[in-house]
Amino acid sequence: MSVYKKNEDQIDSLMTADQNKEMFNDIAPYYDGANHILSVGLDHLWRREAVKRLDPKEDHVYLDVGCGTGDITLEILRQNKASRVIGIDTSLGMLGIGWKKIRQYGLESQASFREGNCLCLEFPDNSFDGAITVFCIRNVTDRKKAFSEMVRVLKPGSMLVVMELTEPMGLVMKPLFRIYASTVMPLVTKIMSSVSAYKYLAASMETFPKPENMKQIMTDSGLTNVAYSQMTFGIVTVYVGLKDIITKTP
């Protein structure tokens, strides 16, 4: 959209990293509520499906990239309470809400959140048994770099799950969605928080790569066996990819 002017650091995103951080800090108190209303409650179902792909296991450690207010981390622990999760996010406002939930559910020994940027992860190579990023990659200034970092910190053979909102296609759903995005979304968000944040949401969905392109970006970033499936008329797409098992030559 023309209102978003790119600078040279923004290869992929409509906002700079600083603008994005500011936006999420501003909307943090309203984020969960707005999400549930705008998705008519489907966001829980989408997150459950994303985490099912990860298939969390006992004693395995997972990285939740762009963990926000922590709902993916909670869902991982709901699906396997003997796993562990580290969440990272650039927005302290979002992380603060996440921390409250972790304390509320008494999950401090299984989950921890920290400030971090997926373009430069502060973890050693081959650290995690799996990674997941849900509704985050749309906001990241360089997707290929972010995926390459996620691949670096994954153990060989482990999985990355990516979930993103996408603009639905088709003669019926595409126009219906555009009407929804230009009327219902701003109305709900005017009441709840920031209209500009959700105008950004609609614009970033419109400009986000189509699933086949995303599949290519993930493959170019070092993932193998990349596959995707669409949910809810194509409003949400979930991608999975594996870090190759590297066979060392003697």
Ligand X SMILES: C[S@@+](CC[C@H](N)C(=O)[O-])C[C@H]1O[C@@H](n2cnc3c(N)ncnc32)[C@H](O)[C@@H]1O
Contact positions vs ligand X (CB under 6 A): 20, 24, 47, 66-68, 71-72, 88-91, 94, 117-119, 134-136, 139-140
CB of 139 to ligand X, least distance (A): 4
Comparison of 119 and 244: residue with beta carbon closer to ligand X:
119
Question: What distance in Å separates the CA atoms of residue 174 and residue 58, rounded to the nearest whole number?
Answer: 41
Comparison of 80 and 117: residue with beta carbon closer to ligand X:
117
Kind of pairing between the strands at 61-65 and 154-165: unpaired
CB of 128 to ligand X, least distance (A): 15
Comparison of 89 and 129: residue with beta carbon closer to ligand X:
89
| CA-based radius of gyration for the chain | 17
The DSSP 8-state label assigned to residue 127 in this structure reads -
CB of 181 to ligand X, least distance (A): 16
Task: Tell me the C-alpha to C-alpha distance, in Å, between residue 40 and each of 34, 74, 104, 172, 213.
Answer: 10, 20, 25, 19, 28
Task: Single out the residue of 14, 6, 5 nearest to residue 206, CA to CA.
Answer: 14
Q: Do 57 and 20 form a contact (C-beta atoms < 8 A)?
A: no
Terminal alpha carbon distance of the chain: 53
CB of 42 to ligand X, least distance (A): 12
CB of 112 to ligand X, least distance (A): 15
Comparison of 25 and 230: residue with beta carbon closer to ligand X:
25
Measured over the CA atoms of residue 28, residue 30, residue 191 and residue 180, the dihedral's sign is positive
The residue nearest ligand X at its CB is: 68
Comparison of 67 and 102: residue with beta carbon closer to ligand X:
67
